[in-house]
Structure 1
């Protein structure tokens, strides 16, 4: 069974609005026989007359009025759908799915999203808290558009990975420990530690820093929520190593922040699918690029 064509419905609406086959043909830039054929096909499809001619005036029948009411809504919906898609293709609107760690979301994304909202208010960025591995996997499968991931990472087929930022890793310690100006592995390794768990890149970087000094300390607690870790540090429960992301925020006065000796860095990259990206995704990447370091 053939479906009703939107073109045929548009022809019916224009005829009803203008009251003339000839005028409808001129407005739609179609030959008069084509206009008549459209109406004939519709009438054959519904099994009833849709238009009547009285004294040269074309009017819809009762059945025609019913179909016209539906046709106007269908055509309006189709026009709206096309307009929305065209706006998305042009980069004026769109949804972008982005995955990142809680630290990046809290300290790096806000300024990028504020700039994006000012320049492209129609773009909706949906942010998810994800590990680097989860972000890479979702970018690969297509359920995520952008991932902010710790570097280095093993190359993933179909995923483009671009270096983005390099932020210093700092020691966060209870202030009453009276820490030195620069914290060394030897000094810190003798104290209680609250560190990220071994599944994270930060844990591996931290372990390598201690190992280079011949030290292999065990963490008192392993936790991947940085704000919770800092709360425990403020309570005097231990020290931690975390990246200083973005501008250094004001700390709880119970916490002391110190640089490390030797220095240590956390590198971040931007993951997205290889090939051309949608315009909305491109605008988000441009906003992130301004935070490159």
Structure 2
């Protein structure tokens, strides 16, 4: 008589074969988790309605886009022509670099030095692009056009989105709204600069950085992030009187490795395996 094969082990209801827990969903994998990572419930976010993504994107695009007026006025006050001012917004389209350029020119700096400082300040967008290219995964034909919209604001809206669809909507709506408004208000500001008199007395060159800082502040959730941002501000302000325009902002990035060094020396709480630091704050 043939040897009888033992039935498979069961758990729960009769006949239910034990199985491994399901792996991460496609959305979780798209968000950057590896196949070996099995996220907890806090890692998996519910889908965000398209209307909510559009609302957030429009809010950022409109708020920052209106500050293009300040750039138009500042550029005209720095001696740039209407064509040069509008060309900067159309072709460069990164507010920090644009303000750094016209600020250096207004201070009497060499045009080539001013352009070099603005260029290096804009290099940060390339690092944004490395992350966004994986997250958005646009078709190859679309990528050159999307690259022009890879800036601080589109990155800030795109990265927190829970799904690829929401990320694409956030990026596109923010980029389109901001590009149209920024260029329109640049034109209006450059045309109306003469009516404002001494443009330097208005301090309009601080408008765009102030708006971005207001958008960035709510994203600093952990103590490590807040300390890094605070140290970056101290470095930028401390170096501002002694270095050329644009350089202090670049050197403020040294705040990140300083904080990482302190974490490595045990001077700062390090993240645990469940995504929290030693104080229990979510990272």
User: When the two structures are superposed, what TM-score results if normalisation uses the length of structure 1?
Assistant: 0.18
Larger RCO (alpha carbons 8 Å, 6+ apart)? 2
* Structure with the larger strand share: 1
User: When the two structures are superposed, what TM-score results if normalisation uses the length of structure 2?
Assistant: 0.19
| Greater C-alpha Rg | 1
